[in-house]
Structure 1
Amino acid sequence: MTQQKIKIKCLNNNTTKSYHKSVTLREIADDQHIQLKAPILGALVNNHMADLAYEVYHPKQIRFVDVTHPDGMRMYMRSLCFVLYKAVNDLFPGAKLTIEHSVSKGIYCEIKKDDRKEIDIQEVFAIGQRMREIVEMNIPFIKDQRETNEVIDILEAQHLTDKSDILRHRGKMYTSFYWLDTLANHFYGYLVPSTGYLQVFDLNKYYKGMLLQLPRTDNPEEVAELIIQDKMFDIFREHAQWNRVLNITHVGHLNQAHNGKSETIIKVSEALHEKKISQIADKIANHHNKLKIVLISGPSSSGKTTFSKRLAIQLLVSGIAPVNLSLDNYFVDREHTPLDENGDYDFEALEALDIDLFNQNLIDLLDGKKVEIPKFSFQTGQRVYDGEVLQLHENNILIIEGIHALNPQLTHLIDASAKFKIYISALTTINLDDHNRINTTDNRLVRRIVRDYKYRKYPAQETISRWPSVRRGEDKHIFPFQEEADVMINTALLYELAVLKPLVEPILLEVQPNQPEYSEAKRLLKFFSYFKPILRINEIPPTSILREFVGGSSFSY
């Protein structure tokens, strides 16, 4: 009897071909000789991520991905972290590895061994060498599935107790995990087929720990350049210390803290924010005789608007009256707007602003002159003047917020001593467990999904589809200048993902399987399955930065 065939459409080459049932993704890729920029790591099957061992039994649409695709990069990163864990275990049995957070174009990790909190450079070199040996051995990552309690026992036997509570919380009868040689580990997503796929990486001594560097997405044969980000690292370290004080370093701790402690976590998190904003206002006030301009920048959904309003209140307490100046008023006329690589208007380019006029207006304002402020008509694409005049007095200070605020070219004619620069972002400092970090980008994306749905009626599908373009703009115009800041503030709240969970889940469930954004929606839904929800939204203060996204703020936007 002839075996029934199934039709598989490969979107990489737009080819439809028949295969026998149970054909694997690896067999399809080999048969069709799919060539990407880098080795194939997995595939989107009907917009759902799968590894190359996935067996196909029904007609499907398939798109193979490599490390240049976000899902491929996540697979690469998880797999490389497992190799790092094995290398540490091979060289230093009993040592504890923690995958902390992203910084300096890499992932910061720490090792605690022999009662020492810091690892030396020779030990980091040895770990890197062992990782390369493991890669050359091309050891397969073997996926296994067993009853959850058995998986927990296996992991706890390796002292991976940080994963126990979070696996129990999910309530799944069976749990998938991976083996690498004789070591087991649980990662919240797929791994690559074997260690031989992980040829491009580096490991360097960084502060008290190590920086694990990944391939560049634009050139996957090269490691991403290490960029020192001392100020960013200090912010992570400061918040990690606060987390340790509260004894909440990963989601398992947060889930346990629901028993009567969620109100305390909310109050302490908000108090820390208020204290930080107050300290920034004090720094400005202490140098108000010189400082005349406060420049605020940060990526999308960082809470810049609420932060600016809260900072204004703290400045008023210090006797300083802030005056806002919008960069949107300084767009060049439409015919002079630069074009992007697709021939569309690039409104995010610095050249889309009239920098000369902006600087001249600033100089005049700082000299105490009256200045007629331009307005920009987005309907006509032309600059207009409506008679609005601005003049600064002794107790005033200019507040300027925008994606280019920290770019030195924006205010190149203004003396540096007159400027105070603030970088703001939501830098998530809690992780799922010791080996599974939470991407800070995910925190901001979830904020934006909730806000767009509530205030703009945008479905999650639309917000997710726009996100790559938003991220490209941030990479180009914001992140290169973040270390220019005089001060950084982290607006991520320890409790916020637990609050956002019940709000974002029904929005994500609206994304349909036939939409390209389905894979990302499913990934986020799985991510939130590890959290217990905090439903006491009434405990969140009306001035909280989180209110900008969930509603109920006492500020007007």
Structure 2
Amino acid sequence: MRQITITDENKTLSLPIGSTVEDALLALGIVKPSDTPSYRQDPIVGALVNHELQSCSRSLVSDCTIEGVRLYGEMGKRMYRHSICYLLCCAVSMLYPSRRLVIGHSLGDGYYFSFDDDLTLQSSDITTISETMRALVDQDLPIEEVVLPYEEAIAYFRENHFDQTASLISTHNEPVVELYRLQGYLDISYEPLLCKTGLMQVWELKPYQDRGMLLRYPRSHNIGSLDPFTDNPLLFAVFKEYKAWGSILNVQALGQLNELGNKNTIEAFIRLAEALQQKKISNIADQINIHSSVKAVLIAGPSSSGKTTFAHKLAIQLQVLGKRTIKVSLDNYYLSPQQAPRDEENKPDLEALEAIDLAQFQQDLSALIAGEPVTLPKYDFKSLSRTYESEPVQMDKRTILIIEGIHGMNPKLTNTIDNETLFRVYISALTQLNLDDHNRISTTDNRMIRRLVRDNRTRGTDATTTLNMWPSVRRGEDRYIFPYQNNANIMINSALDYELGVLSPYAQPLLKMVKPSAGPAYETARRLLKFLENVNPIPDTLVPDDSLLREFIGGSEFGVI
């Protein structure tokens, strides 16, 4: 039998071709034969094979380097969360083979699931599902990677009511389809899974809202147990609204979007998606207009949520209602890097509230609301210094300030201002589109792809640099943005259901330039590329000039960069 060479940092050995990752980990001594993996022992649950994350059940077919991946690391936690979703879908398939379970979205520390039928989901049903999942965990069953011929895979998913999965596969033509198998249950996972059910010890399945259930997982800061449940009804309401819009658009998953492109009907879909988003912005302007006391609208959200374009579009809608608008960017109040607070690596923490000149901002805001003229600052990101506009601005009775920046929901930003004069809008790209029935499109990945494209276009930044910087961006969001999102008067979803088809042709060449030597950025690039392989391209010429998406691909009529 042909041999392949396996190498880790300490040794090199030969194994028969077709050996699994687990075989290699055992042979190299990274995992001991006597080990009985336990969740709380932070076991090795996968490996970087030639720097790409793979399940322990993956067969090795060529020479490779290998590095174990532990459960409590960032990659291990991703595997765990995908695996408990797979476990839930398997249990439901065993109990209710004729019902279609659909993943909805992430909500705090969990994923929302519901059945796509008119039958009521009882608490007793959720208890039964949870008990079945626990029984599968207790049996410590293997989860294996398998491949099915294209036609056989399509037939399996259609017979088992996995409509969106069948639809997605049907828009591609690979000869075989890679699946994971747990006993007789087969399903796709677009990221590697754990190879044993016994590792899935910490989760909770609970009823949520009227017809759904929430599958909760441990947070990164407390990996050993679940935090007390904290509801986020405002965020759920946004997802519910956009799910309803998905019904209007008649597209809930990526396969349906691909089919529209194949039928040359995507242009009408784009117009409808843009019109729905514009209607939402118009409705927000109406709500602001109702409150005569409002003098300033604060807009905040995480990186690449489209704050700048939204601010422009909201200003237009307010002007339609007879308002004057003055735009203020918190970025223009940055202190110099030398004055900014330091992070754990002793670098300037530009995400912190203290990185802006809070005293000057509050002084200018108070003066503007009082009707006094103010000369606004302008921060030069090249010289890292502040200059000032040539002419002062001044509010009258019809004027509303539109203030955009990541700290807009933080009460410390405006604690010297009468709260009745403020209206807060939280914006984020909360993707309602699924990959298929059981695999969601990560809102974080969507924003990351937006940022890759924008940073390369506007700053010449390569994908490796952006991906290496992303963990720091995410830490800043977790500290300074997400904790304050429920202070908003209203939330808006900036995601456009067609945008991945436009972004993909921009992002894929950038991601392909990330090489194995790039470390963690390479694993992320490979993961995103594998995901984007499912996305059929959409011509950027179909994107309207006033679209929020133009903030990232260029060509905006607002001149946004």
Question: TM-score, normalization: structure 2?
Answer: 0.91
1:520 maps to a residue whose letter is T
Structure 1 residues 54-133: aligned runs within 5 Å: 54-56=58-60, 60-112=64-116, 115-116=118-119, 118-133=120-135
Q: Using the TM superposition, name which of 58-67 and 496-505 deviates more.
A: 58-67
Letter in 1 for 2:22: R
Tell me the amino acid that sits aligned with residue 521 of structure 1. Answer: A
- Residues 543 and 555, structure 1, Cα contact 8 Å, conserved in 2: yes
Shift in CA distance, 76/552, structure 1 to aligned 2, threshold 3 Å = same
How do 1:145-184 and structure 2 match up within 5 A?
A: 145-184=147-186
C-alpha spacing 1:59/1:422, structure 2 compared with 1 (3 Å): same
Rounded Cα–Cα distance in structure 1 between residues aligned with 2:227 and 2:423: 31
- After superposition, the C-alpha distances for 1:264-306 in whole angstroms (9 at most, x for unaligned) are 100000111111111111111222x300111000111111111
Contact 2:163-2:437 within 8 A present in 1 as well: no
In the TM superposition, what are the counterparts of 1:222-371 in structure 2 within 5 Å?
Answer: 222-258=225-261, 259-287=263-291, 289-332=292-335, 335-371=338-374
What CA distance in whole angstroms lies between the structure 1 residues aligned with 2:62 and 2:549?
Answer: 44
Cα distance change on mapping 1:400 and 1:195 into 2, 3 Å: same
Q: 1:239 to 1:375 in 2, by over 3 A?
A: closer
Distance 1:457 1:108, change over 3 A: same
Q: Please, which of 29, 32, 36 is the counterpart of residue 30 of structure 2?
A: 32
| Separation (CA, whole Å) in 1 of partners of 2:466 and 2:41 | 27
1:445 alignment counterpart:
448
Q: Spell out, residue by residue over 1:352-392, the C-alpha distance to the aligned partner (whole angstroms, 9 max, x if none).
A: 23323322332222222234545556677666668754432
- Per-residue deviation at 1:62? 2.6
Asked if the contact 2:104–2:112 (Cα under 8 Å) also holds between the matched residues in 1, the reply is yes
**Structure 2 SS opposite 1:32:** coil
Q: Could you tell me the percent identity over the aligned residues?
A: 40
Report the equivalent of 1:404: 407
| 1:172, distance to aligned residue in structure 2 (A) | 0.8
Letter in 2 for 1:9: D
Give the C-alpha shift of residue 69 in structure 1. 3.7
Aligned to 2:527: 523
* 1:193 alignment counterpart: 195
Stretch deviating more after TM superposition (516-525 or 235-244):
516-525
SS at match of 2:105: strand
Matched residue type, 2:433: I
Conserved in 1, the CA contact under 8 Å of 2:332 and 2:378? yes
Q: How many residue pairs get matched?
A: 548
Residue 51 of structure 1 is matched in structure 2 by 55
CA deviations on 1:57-111 (whole Å, 9 max, x unpaired) are 6653333223444432332222212211222233334222111111122100002
Question: Aligned ranges for residues 509-548 of structure 1 at < 5 Å?
Answer: 509-516=512-519, 517-535=521-539, 537-548=540-551
Q: CA deviation at 1:27?
A: 4.2
Seen in structure 2, the aligned counterparts of structure 1 residues 540 and 337 have a Cα distance that, compared at 3 Å, is: closer
Distance 1:366 1:85, change over 3 A: same
Given that 1:105 and 1:225 are in contact with CA atoms closer than 8 Å, whether structure 2 keeps it comes out as: no
Question: More deviation in 191-200 or 211-220?
Answer: 211-220
**Counterpart amino acid of 1:397?**
I
CA distance in 1, matches of 2:515, 2:389: 47
Amino acid paired to 1:524: L
CA distance 1:519–1:418, shift in 2 (3 Å): same
Q: Deviations over 1:155-195 (max 9, x none)?
A: 33322232223223221111121221122212223221111
Distance (whole Å) between structure 2 residues aligned to residue 334 and residue 447 of structure 1? 26
Q: Which amino acid aligns with 2:21?
A: L
SS in 2 for 1:453: helix
* 8 A contact 1:67–1:220 mirrored in 2: no
Aligned counterparts of 1:196 and 1:335: Cα–Cα separation in 2: 50
Separation in structure 1 between the aligned mates of residue 377 and residue 277 of structure 2, nearest angstrom: 35
CA deviations on 1:26-78 (whole Å, 9 max, x unpaired) are 24544135999722221111211211134556653333223444432332222
Residue pair 2:97, 2:160 contacting (<8 A) in 1 also: no
Q: Are the aligned partners of 1:429 and 1:494 in contact in 2 as well (CA < 8 Å)?
A: yes
1:497 aligns with 2:495: no
Residue 479 in structure 1 maps to residue 486 in structure 2 = no
1:169-226 C-alpha deviation (Å, 9 max, x unpaired): 2211111212211222122232211111111111111112011111222332122553
Tell me the amino acid that sits aligned with residue 98 of structure 2. Answer: G
Give the whole-Å Cα distance in 2 for the aligned partners of 1:42 and 1:526.
18
Deviates more, 1:126-135 or 1:192-201: 126-135
- State how far apart, in whole Å, the 2-side matches of 1:383 and 1:179 are: 59
Q: How far apart in 1 are the matches of 2:59 and 2:67? A: 15
Shift of 1:437: 0.7
> In the superposition, relative to structure 1, how do residues 379 and 553 fare at CA in structure 2: closer, same or farther (>3 Å)?
closer
Give the aligned residue type for 1:422: V
Q: Contact 1:37–1:66 at 8 Å: present in 2 too?
A: no
Structure 2 CA distance for partners of 1:164 and 1:373, relative to 1, 3 Å = closer
Partners of 1:273 and 1:310 in 2: CA distance? 10
Moved more, 468-477 or 252-261: 252-261
Contact 1:142 1:178 in 2 (8 A): yes
1:84 corresponds to which letter in structure 2?
L
Is contact 1:163-1:433 (8 Å) kept?
A: yes
The alignment's TM-score, normalised by the length of structure 1, stands at 0.92
Q: Say whether the 8 Å CA contact 1:162–1:434 is kept in structure 2.
A: yes
Unmatched 5+ residue regions in structure 2? none
Change (3 A) 1:264 1:334: closer
SS in 2 for 1:257: helix
Opposite residue 157 of structure 2, the aligned amino acid is L
Q: State how far apart, in whole Å, the 2-side matches of 1:275 and 1:385 are.
A: 35
1:357 maps to amino acid:
Q
Structure 1 letter corresponding to 2:7:
I
Deviations 1:378-427 (A, max 9, x none): 67766666875443222211111111110011101111111000011111
Contact 2:58 2:145 in 1 (8 A): no
| Map of 2:7 onto structure 1 | 8
